[in-house]
Structure 1
């Protein structure tokens, strides 16, 4: 399915005027990702095929998780492009994190073109037991249910 982008032609002309003519003039538009909860943590998987692992940057600042990466094309010296359909350039994705994420223990791996970021749930955000006492009653314990 093709998406209508009224600014695509203007963007292409601007890139050509600025001298960006190596390989594809198309730039990455987004970084596809999946996010799921598995036990006491969340897992974010982002597709970054062909990205140099050294160009990947994952950081957290003030409750915002930022993922950045770059895919480069071979230099155009002695290269005659026949087809150039793969995106090249910088990718970036930002997500707001809740206070329930333990930002000090976030970890990431890159394998087979997929960046996996593990976001542990903070201990304060995990279900816990709460004791309830009433006048003249013995203590009762209610376990927090899972939604």
Structure 2
């Protein structure tokens, strides 16, 4: 089986391993269920006390730290897990209740529940009518004189 020559393949592979996007350390699922948006952020190996969730204006910021093993006699054979401080920001829409956001960390996953604001929830508007007769300028449609040109 012949392989095609691609001079950029190895360069791409090398750069992909070196310059990982910041979100690679914090992959996230975001969905709506019922009256809330839910964000599930993978944070395996993170000390729960290092997790910080802030809301300022319409920006939600998640910060967490994963510490690296610092044994002096360690000789790395493979070192792929990122360590350090990670941050991710989400811009919240006007239709969420940012004062009622809840966060829970379990099994390496941070779950944020972001409720929809009351004013953004869909609501039914009732339409009233006047017993089958239209009212035009204080007169019923049956008694109104036709307009002459």
TM-score by length of 1: 0.70
Q: 2:22 aligns with which of 19, 24, 29?
A: 29
Judging changes above 3 Å, is the alpha-carbon distance between structure 1 residues 29 and 95 closer, same or farther for their aligned structure 2 residues? Answer: same
Q: State the Cα distance separating 1:77 from its structure 2 match.
A: 2.5
2: CA distance between counterparts of 1:3 and 1:59? Answer: 38
Question: 2:72 aligned with 1:77, yes or no?
Answer: yes
Listed as ranges, the gaps of 5+ residues in structure 1 are 13-25, 139-147
Q: State the Cα distance separating 1:27 from its structure 2 match.
A: 6.9
Do 1:28 and 1:90's aligned partners in 2 also have CA atoms closer than 8 Å? no
Q: 1:88 aligns with which of 83, 106, 111?
A: 83
TM-score by length of 2: 0.69
Q: 1:107 aligns with which of 88, 96, 102?
A: 102
Match of 1:130 in 2: 125
Listed as ranges, the gaps of 5+ residues in structure 2 are 1-9, 133-149
Name which one, 1 or 2, has greater alpha-carbon Rg. 2
Instruction: Kindly report the root-mean-square deviation, in angstroms, between the aligned alpha carbons of the 2 structures.
Output: 3.0
Q: Give every structure 1 segment of 4 or more consecutive aligned residues whose post-TM-superposition deviation is greater than 4 Å.
A: 5-9
